[in-house]
Structure 1
């Protein structure tokens, strides 16, 4: 009997450990950590659904991955190039908009970006993504829901899952400024 209980616990424990509850508020650091399987008020989609939506051309894809900034303290005259960011074709890179707390500029970038994406179609679905196990897209999608945007879709696999599923090749992102 004890062996059976131990076996059942061994089988059930990994599944339970992978279950991440939705927090009551935005998630802070570390942002690269297991995410919940749900987001209240949003539809959670996988790579196949994301690829199908992109092919239909009706949904707006929003990449919220942070932007690499020039390191502080580089000697004067040092040449520095921002790292290229690869994203889903046709998406808009609203960088740094998935943090737990947004600066005024980050909040403006997100609100302005979402409004622009929906100015011709107020019911256009908004698909938020970044990378797997990244809370940035969860936070940004939750914020959009709280601001009254609908429908909101969350693609937790992000650009990595897109590429693995054989979606159209990732493209170099251009950061959006309001």
Structure 2
């Protein structure tokens, strides 16, 4: 929910409140929530998202693609979502194709991109626009990580897949 990996919670939990925080912690917490466009005590379930990023070196393993495919199989990508699926290596890419995961993803409206950093680091054209929400399996979510002003929500491949097919933050257990 925030701008560092320590600002995490379970999918069905609510963003913490500032109760019991020191004044210094409150300043940092409020700044993070302001950047993300959230408030203390909010649930993230049902929040509209714009992008989904699966992959690169963190969570771009074959088991991550298997998990993602297990949720999207038989479904379609939400029209409001742009999804970037990036294998962690060419070996993972080959395994995805060997197992037929590429076909499951294609039938659901997804395309597999070439291995590389992609939107994980926003080093190339794969940047999330300012104030857009990205559900990302990368390992960091500091301000601007996926592009200037981008709002990154770190998630598991299952949560990313659920968001990709519903267009909102969704508990993947609802789709299993």
Smaller-chain TM-score bracket: 0.3 to 0.5
- Which structure has the larger Rg? 1
TM-score for the superposition, normalised by structure 2: 0.35
TM-score for the superposition, normalised by structure 1: 0.35
Question: Which structure carries more relative contact order (alpha carbon 8 Å, separation 6+)?
Answer: 1
